[in-house]
Chain A
């Protein structure tokens, strides 16, 4: 799960990671009032779940409250398009108005999981403000890493080593080392999957500050963090994704026109691949899970049919725990309730497949069947094009 920058900064503040003073505004007038309270030059930042905001015009500097008002008026209500947003952009509903900092140096700091080592890793670099992937590709020696002990966490000496490695000295060093420890504590306490500060800045008045903040959370741990799930902003998510999550369905909207419904994440990805190989484009990823109920199947079918870009549906199920007769029951119920607006191709295999096929045949519904996934994909792609 992702949250907004202003939410991330509130968490950082709570854990003792210094951030610039600032508040959130939903109108230009509010932005002006905040700038007046701050009494300094301010930066007005669009609050959307995507990076690359600066280049897209979503971050503006203002010298005075009137300037902050103008900047907020330009940013609020715009559709911000960055390489990380959907092509149509994201509508900006909130801006963060915060004190502008006199930056001396820009650094990078993050905590994430190192899958290869099965350990959390803290990464720091003097090449702040750049995409870390780019730094890793061009100048990997500029990235410092410290792996936290799986049980003991990050030790003080590791935080010091990183702070020294960043070239921090004196008072800055003390602040930096403490900030690194505090960021790691936040990462662990809140079950983050990524805690990234880019840039982390050293200011001309010798402070170390998190100028930007990105926190992502481990979805598997959200059950024990109600305070984090409360920060979810469903306006940032595709409405169909949100609808699917209500029914425990794993759904991701994509750009094509062949809707797919599959059991299991691997088979679902493979089904998308085979649609592409058959000359089509998948409209979505949809994993109904290993033990989907007829109700879940029905809801999945409803969500697929409600996507206007879907021209044909391909249901590909290898019955293990999910029995083919239960799948057939769910599909028949869904079609009877919702009608059949779209051509549907069903391929099923595995547990109770004969019973499932018999149920589909006896239902008298005009469903197309296929004996294997290649045939199913071919038929679905052809139907989507016709």
Chain B
């Protein structure tokens, strides 16, 4: 079992004729994901690296039954690409693009609220259900199927924890990168709820970072509604205030959003807190009784 993506996922790649889009469409297909084709406005009817290309997302939906959009469109046009996918009725939209202006995400998120689409990201590595479907840019080979649900705001730090889990023989049910921007389509709470309901997920590894209050909201939710063990790590314990640490959303502003506050809230919610990023895999193993 898994959340959000599996064998039935049919991916259309928006921006498939770009360097990143083409590269990752091929990697996703190699992993076994069904990639039905791509969209680049103005290049419809052509083929790119063997994939059919359409002018609109709507065509991919009607002709090939695409039920997931993976977006590599450049930042200036990415919010529009998100809205196009939602308007075409695509239920799951995964936006990898980094650097979308905040004001455009404000509008795109409002647009999504009137649809039944779910957005993952932007500025995220995507998501994977090991052995079934990879919809993102993560290295597929480090994953293996198993009982741990992973949710994170970071990309490479997620690979780090997955690497630590797999090397201990512990697999993952699904791994979701929700992204490092201040406005996210899907929150920790949304993913925690899905992992909570997924019968195959037996433990959850959550990786947060400084900035915003998403981790505090997750702590509230965990306390009230998550019955499964949750292991949490917050990065940025040594980050100085007022400086944006790479991710647009990772900034301690006005004394808010510190790692210490987030760790306190998560600990109070009954999660198992990991202080060192080197101990994430070992801690999950302990929680699972291995």
Cα separation A268 to B237 with both chains bound (whole Å)? 11
Which chain B residues lie closer than 8 Å to A269 at the CB level?
Answer: 154, 157, 209-210, 235-236, 238-239, 245-246, 250
For window 132-178 of chain B, which residues contact chain A by CB distance below 8 Å?
Answer: 137-139, 141-142, 152-160, 163
Q: A116-B213, A118-B183, A266-B180 are in contact. Are A320 and B101 (CB under 8 A)?
A: no
Q: Could you tell me if A267 and B107 are in contact, using CB atoms closer than 8 angstroms?
A: no
Interface size on A, residues (CB 8 A): 56
Q: Could you tell me if A191 and B157 are in contact, using CB atoms closer than 8 angstroms?
A: no
Cα separation A344 to B217 with both chains bound (whole Å)? 40
Closest CB in chain B relative to A381 CB, distance in Å: 13
Cα separation A117 to B244 with both chains bound (whole Å)? 21
A and B contact pairs by CB, cutoff 8 A, 12 listed: A84-B242, A118-B109, A136-B254, A265-B247, A266-B153, A269-B238, A274-B276, A290-B155, A319-B139, A320-B137, A320-B138, A351-B139
Q: Could you tell me if A274 and B156 are in contact, using CB atoms closer than 8 angstroms?
A: no
Q: Could you tell me if A265 and B163 are in contact, using CB atoms closer than 8 angstroms?
A: no
Q: Contacting chain B: which of A29-37, A66-74, A214-222?
A: A214-222
- Set B183, B213, B254: member contacting A132, Cβ < 8 A: B254
For window 227-279 of chain B, which residues contact chain A by CB distance below 8 Å?
Answer: 233, 235-240, 242-250, 254-256, 275-279
Q: Could you tell me if B276 and A273 are in contact, using CB atoms closer than 8 angstroms?
A: yes
Which of A115, A119, A266, A320 gathers the greatest number of chain B CB atoms within 10 Å?
A: A266
Q: Could you tell me if A290 and B76 are in contact, using CB atoms closer than 8 angstroms?
A: no
> Which positions in B face A, CB cutoff 8 Å?
20, 75-76, 99-103, 105-107, 109-110, 125, 137-139, 141-142, 152-160, 163, 180, 182-183, 207, 209-210, 212-214, 217, 233, 235-240, 242-250, 254-256, 275-279
- Set A120, A150, A350, A373: member contacting B278, Cβ < 8 A: A373
Q: Could you tell me if A270 and B277 are in contact, using CB atoms closer than 8 angstroms?
A: yes
Contact with B along A351-386 (1 / 0, CB 8 A): 100000000000000000000111001000000000
For window 183-198 of chain A, which residues contact chain B by CB distance below 8 Å?
Answer: 188, 191, 193
6 nearest A-B residue pairs (beta carbon): A266-B154, A265-B246, A264-B156, A150-B110, A374-B278, A266-B157
Cα separation A276 to B235 with both chains bound (whole Å)? 12
For window 254-291 of chain A, which residues contact chain B by CB distance below 8 Å?
Answer: 254, 262-277, 282, 285, 287, 290-291
Q: A116-B213, A320-B137, A351-B139 are in contact. Are A150 and B109 (CB under 8 A)?
A: yes
Does A318 interact with chain B (Cβ within 8 Å)?
yes
Which chain B residues lie closer than 8 Å to A224 at the CB level?
Answer: 76, 101
Q: Could you tell me if B278 and A274 are in contact, using CB atoms closer than 8 angstroms?
A: yes
Closest CB in chain A relative to B76 CB, distance in Å: 7
- Set A84, A221, A266, A270: member contacting B247, Cβ < 8 A: A266
Q: Could you tell me if A265 and B159 are in contact, using CB atoms closer than 8 angstroms?
A: no
Q: A266-B156, A269-B250, A273-B235 are in contact. Are A115 and B180 (CB under 8 A)?
A: no
Which chain A residues lie closer than 8 Å to B160 at the CB level?
Answer: 267, 270, 318, 349, 373
Q: A118-B105, A118-B109, A220-B102 are in contact. Are A273 and B76 (CB under 8 A)?
A: no
Q: Could you tell me if B277 and A113 are in contact, using CB atoms closer than 8 angstroms?
A: no
Q: Could you tell me if A268 and B139 are in contact, using CB atoms closer than 8 angstroms?
A: no
Cα separation A372 to B167 with both chains bound (whole Å)? 12
Q: Could you tell me if B102 and A119 are in contact, using CB atoms closer than 8 angstroms?
A: no
Cα separation A136 to B253 with both chains bound (whole Å)? 13
Considering the complex, give the chain A residue whose CB is closest to the CB of B244: A219
Cα separation A188 to B137 with both chains bound (whole Å)? 33
Q: Apart from A270-B277, A372-B278, what 17 extra A-B contacts exist at CB < 8 Å?
A: A116-B213, A118-B183, A132-B254, A218-B101, A218-B248, A250-B246, A252-B245, A264-B157, A265-B154, A265-B180, A266-B155, A266-B180, A270-B154, A274-B276, A285-B239, A290-B155, A373-B160
